[in-house]
């Protein structure tokens, strides 16, 4: 969950690398560092804190480099500190290395190296890699890598430089994203193509233990056996825009307010109004055969997992197809049974979620095709899935996912419509459904227009340390997502339950110091959720109800209400989630929390 950037070429190296690193700050912001060669001298600067702090120090030192590697860190081994920040060095101090990933056998390797008399100064697994490569180095860096890399267990991406190899960047990737950007008289290296997309669109992804030697004018790539190979170059098709908050206080708030457009983008070119059916023109290799599909398996983590859970309700309701939703980090260890006729859908905003990618590889090894839902062109999921539906939500900088979640749900709803039309749904009903989908962006905007009222209610409850969310049917996974948002950015202990499960334990936690947020906008279960509200009120807790506009039945029973436009039931979780994203945001703001970069979290979870 760290960001790597490297550059060699005609530009001002330090400035170029630091700008690239800033585009990767979503991947880690505990500490940052840079190392490079100036002539035959290796120079470096690293420290705890944000990239701006590193930039100030580098500028004050007047650092000038001919080529450089840089890193922004999210700690996995060793607390954030100057000494644990990357880069790390071999025993000679001539090799500098940055690393994303986890070395699973670092303790054993460290013990072996200590027996050889090698001293360690950090708590990181990265230092073990540098010291190991340095131990085997005898003038030939490729030969040292050929000996050292097979000893490392885990997934990782590495970038390194060596005093005795001026003009060269060395890159290694094993099941962790690392991309080469090919320019004219310049070469880039990054964990995310967006970091160099404003300079070049020509990309070579590394994978499967491949090693690359990069200069400003040449690229040599070797397989895991260090045999030279040719790799296909890809042309990126993505927006180029430096992230900016505009007039908003935080990226997270800006991205919440971008959701009407995100929903429009997700719907674009995916609806055949005449036939009342969803279409997926991006499917070029694998036809989406509705008659073949007998069941769905959705694999995801975190917010994407919640999107999959909500979709499971809508697909089963509309298309009458059984759906299984699996947390990717658990799925890969359970010896899964996947039946013929299963369509597998893997969801990851970044396309780099390590557990989701591992699950995808497991599924593909069993011979099943995979559809990816992703927001990032050139990502690992986009390359490894048989087909990819891009969310087109635009860059999402805030760590907690907002507009990407809305886009995921919109696309999954389109998939529900596609499957339903080939089974249960008539053409006329499909046409009506599409009309309701087209209303979604404006309905989201109507919720955003209530931001002042949502902020007022949020401030009322911002002092609480515990909040409960309940929902029934497809509003239960919507409650899970709302609780996750509140946890992520306000650090409140928020938990979600199916309404009917309160009596099976959670009710013991309810007290007059509690807030219950009840997601009531689901007519078939409204009476039952009313009963659950009464159970909580009897224990003295306050209740905030999320209701359809015009709902009068709860006025006398709850302290506060937030209203969403009336819509078809399967679309309600999208609108409910938008309201509760704002609720979480304003609570976090009132509490003074770090909203865009919450403590202990990173945007792209690229380690297991």
Handedness of CA 526, 485, 477, 531 (dihedral sign): negative
Given 3-state DSSP classes, what are the helix, strand and coil percentages for the chain, each rounded to the nearest 5? 40, 25, 40
Domain count, the chain: 3
Residue 607 has pLDDT above 70, yes or no: no
The CA radius of gyration of the chain, in Å to the nearest whole number, is 25
At 280 the three-state DSSP class reads coil
Least confident of 110-119, 287-296, 332-341: 287-296
Q: Is 184 exposed, middle or buried (0-12, 13-18, 19+ CB in 10 A)?
A: exposed
- The reply to whether omega before 381 is within 30° of 0 (cis) is no
Is residue 223 within 8 Å of 401, Cβ to Cβ? no
Listed residue (327, 324, 373) closest to 347, CA to CA: 373
Look at residue 291 in the predicted model and tell me its pLDDT.
73
Residue 605, pLDDT above cutoff 80 = no
For residue 386, is it within any domain?
yes
- Under DSSP, the state recorded for 87 is P
Whether 165 and 290 share a structural domain: no
Question: Half-sphere exposure of 305 toward its Cβ, with a 13 Å CA cutoff?
Answer: 16
Q: Residue 472: what pLDDT?
A: 96
Q: What is the pLDDT of residue 286?
A: 65
The verdict on residue 608 lying in a domain is: no
Give the phi and the psi of residue 298 in degrees, each rounded to 5.
Answer: -110, 130
Q: Which SS3 state, helix, strand or coil, does residue 95 take?
A: strand
> Average pLDDT for residues 129-153, to the nearest whole number?
95
Q: Does residue 415 share a domain with residue 270?
A: yes
Per the CB < 8 A criterion, the answer to whether 270 and 414 are in contact is yes
Q: Kindly tell me if the per-residue pLDDT of 236 is higher than 90.
A: no
Maximum distance among all alpha carbons in the chain? 80
CA distances from 536 to 378, 434, 484, 555, 584 (A): 48, 38, 21, 16, 21
**Residue 222 token pair:** 């070797």
- Confidence at residue 28, expressed as pLDDT on a 0 to 100 scale: 67
Mean pLDDT of 233-242: 69
Q: Are residues 394 and 471 in the same domain?
A: no
Whether 363 is covered by a domain: the verdict is: yes
Dist. CA 176–CA 149, nearest whole Å: 14
Q: Clarify whether residues 318 and 182 are in a common domain.
A: no
On the CB side of 148, how many CA atoms lie within 13 Å of its CA? 26
Kindly report the CATH number assigned to the domain that includes residue 524.
3.40.50.10490
Ordered alpha helix ranges (H), 462-503: 475-490
Average pLDDT estimate for 222-249 = 81
What is the rounded distance in angstroms from the CA atom of residue 501 to the CA atom of residue 184?
61
CB 387 within 8 A of CB 372: yes
Higher pLDDT, 237 or 387: 387
Residue 603 banded pLDDT, cuts 50, 70, 90: low
Same domain, 75 and 203: yes
Res 285: pLDDT: 62
Which of 447, 462, 479 marks a domain boundary? 447
> Is residue 608 scored above 80 in pLDDT?
no
For residue 74, the model assigns a pLDDT of 72
Residues 255 and 225 in one domain: no
Q: Would residue 353 count as lying in a domain? A: yes
| Length of the chain (residues) | 608
For residue 240, tell me if it sits in a domain. no
Q: What is the pLDDT of residues 252-276, one digit of tens each?
A: 999 999 999 999 999 988 999 999 9
Q: Is residue 606 assigned to a domain?
A: no
Task: Please check whether residues 411 and 530 belong to one and the same domain.
Answer: no
DSSP letters for 548-560: ETT--TTTTT-SE
Which DSSP string do the residues of 530-585 spell out, in sequence order?
Answer: HHHHHHHHTTT-EEEEEEETT--TTTTT-SEEEEE----GGGHHHHHHHHHHHHHH
pLDDT, average across residues 138-147 = 94
At 332-345, the pLDDT tens digits run 888 888 999 999 99
Give yes or no for a contact between 478 and 577, defined as CB atoms under 8 angstroms apart. Answer: yes
User: Are 440 and 334 in the same domain?
Assistant: yes
Task: Tell whether 241 is covered by a domain.
Answer: no
Whether residue 200 is found in the same domain as residue 54: yes
Place of tokens 């279960």: 525
Res 241: pLDDT = 53
- In 3-57, the DSSP E strands lie at 3-8, 31-38, 41-48
**366 and 485 assigned to the same domain:** no
Q: Give the pLDDT confidence of 368-425 residue by residue, as tens digits.
A: 999 999 998 878 899 899 999 999 898 888 889 999 999 999 999 999 999 999 888 9
The candidate with the shortest Cα–Cα distance to 436, out of 574, 340, 311, 322, is 574
Contacts of 388 (CB under 8 A, 6+ apart): 282, 371, 372, 373, 374, 381, 382
Kindly state the DSSP code that residue 320 receives in the 8-state scheme: -
Distance of CA 91 to the CA centre of its chain: 36
Q: What is the CATH number of the domain that holds 67?
A: 3.60.20.10
pLDDT for position 23: 85
**395 in the same domain as 368:** yes
Structural domain span for residue 575:
450-600
- For 244, residues 6+ apart whose C-beta sits below 8 A from its C-beta are none
Taking 90 as the threshold, does the pLDDT of residue 597 lie above it? Answer: no
Close Cβ partners of 76 (under 8 Å, ≥ 6 residues apart): 1, 102, 125, 607
Domain membership of residue 318 (yes or no) is yes
210-235 mean pLDDT: 93
pTM: 0.83
CB of 370 closer than 8 Å to CB of 377: no
Torsion angle in degrees (nearest 10) through CA of 474, 476, 480, 483: 120
Domain match, 280 and 294 both = yes
Q: What mean pLDDT do residues 146-154 have?
A: 94
Of the residues 447, 471, 499, the one at which a domain ends: 447
Q: Output phi, psi for 474, to 5 deg.
A: -70, -5
Q: Could you tell me the pLDDT band of residue 292, with boundaries at 50, 70 and 90?
A: confident
Instruction: Kindly list the catalytic residues.
Output: 2, 603
pLDDT higher than 90, residue 29: no
Task: Kindly state the tokens that stand for 388.
Answer: 């990819």
Q: Which of 406, 424, 447 is the last residue of a domain?
A: 447
- pLDDT over threshold 60, residue 242: no
Between β-strands 387-390 and 342-348, what pairing exists: parallel, antiparallel or unpaired?
unpaired
Residue 245: the pLDDT is 83
Instruction: Give the pLDDT confidence of 501-548 residue by residue, as tens digits.
Output: 998 999 999 999 999 999 999 999 999 999 999 999 989 999 999 999
């Amino acid at each position: 969950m760290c960001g790597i950037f490297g550059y060699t070429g005609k530009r001002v190296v330090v400035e170029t690398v630091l700008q690239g690193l800033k585009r990767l700050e979503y991947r880690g912001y505990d500490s940052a560092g840079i190392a490079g060669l100036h002539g035959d001298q290796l120079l470096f600067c690293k420290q705890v804190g944000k990239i701006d702090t590193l930039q100030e120090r580098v500028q004050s030192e007047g650092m000038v480099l001919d080529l450089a590697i840089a890193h922004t860190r999210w700690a996995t081994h060793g607390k954030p500190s100057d000494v644990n920040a990357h880069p790390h060095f071999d025993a000679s101090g001539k090799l500098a290395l940055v690393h994303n990933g986890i070395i699973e056998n670092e303790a054993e390797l460290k013990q072996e190296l200590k027996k050889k008399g090698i001293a360690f100064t950090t708590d990181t697994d990265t230092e073990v890699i540098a010291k190991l490569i340095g131990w085997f180095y005898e003038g030939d860096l490729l030969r040292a890598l050929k000996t050292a890399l097979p000893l490392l267990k885990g997934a990782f991406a590495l970038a390194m430089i060596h005093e005795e190899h001026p003009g060269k960047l060395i890159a290694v990737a094993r099941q962790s994203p690392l991309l080469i950007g090919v320019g004219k008289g310049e070469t880039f290296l990054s964990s995310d193509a967006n970091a160099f997309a404003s300079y070049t669109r020509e990309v070579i992804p590394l994978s499967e233990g491949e090693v690359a030697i990069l200069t400003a004018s040449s690229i040599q790539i070797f397989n895991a056996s260090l045999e030279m190979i040719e790799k296909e170059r890809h042309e990126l098709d993505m927006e180029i825009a430096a992230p900016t908050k505009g007039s908003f206080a935080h990226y997270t708030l800006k991205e919440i307010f971008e959701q009407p457009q995100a929903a429009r983008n997700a719907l674009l070119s995916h609806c055949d109004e005449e036939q009342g059916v969803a279409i997926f023109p991006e499917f070029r290799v694998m036809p989406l055969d509705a008659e073949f599909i007998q069941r769905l398996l959705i694999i995801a983590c975190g917010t994407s997992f919640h999107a999959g859970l909500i979709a499971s309700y809508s697909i089963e309701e509309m298309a009458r197809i059984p759906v299984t939703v699996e947390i990717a980090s658990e799925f890969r260890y359970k010896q899964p049974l996947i039946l013929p006729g299963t369509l597998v859908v893997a969801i990851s905003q970044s396309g780099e979620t390590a557990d989701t990618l591992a699950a995808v590889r497991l599924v593909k090894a069993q011979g099943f095709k995979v559809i990816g839902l992703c927001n990032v062109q050139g990502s690992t999921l986009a390359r490894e899935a048989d087909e990819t539906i891009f969310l087109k939500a635009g860059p999402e900088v805030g760590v907690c996912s907002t507009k990407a979640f809305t886009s995921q749900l919109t696309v999954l709803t389109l998939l529900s419509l596609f499957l339903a039309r080939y089974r249960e749904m008539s053409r006329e009903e499909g046409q009506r459904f599409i009309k309701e989908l087209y209303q979604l962006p404006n309905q989201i905007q109507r919720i955003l227009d209530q931001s002042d009222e949502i902020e007022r209610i949020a401030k009322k409850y911002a002092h609480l340390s515990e909040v409960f969310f309940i929902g029934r049917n497809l509003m239960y996974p919507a409650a899970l997502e709302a609780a996750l948002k509140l946890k992520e950015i306000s650090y409140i202990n928020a938990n979600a339950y199916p309404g009917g499960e309160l009596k099976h334990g959670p009710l013991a936690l309810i007290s007059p110091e509690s807030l219950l947020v009840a997601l009531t906008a689901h007519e078939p279960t409204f009476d039952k959720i009313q009963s659950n509200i009464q159970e909580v009120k009897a224990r003295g807790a306050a209740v905030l109800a999320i209701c359809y506009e015009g709902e009068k039945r709860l006025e006398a029973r709850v302290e506060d209400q937030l209203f969403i436009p009336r819509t078809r039931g399967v679309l309600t979780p999208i609108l409910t989630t938008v309201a509760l994203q704002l609720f979480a945001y304003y609570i976090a703001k009132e509490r003074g929390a770090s909203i865009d970069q919450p403590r202990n979290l990173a945007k792209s979870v690229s380690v297991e």
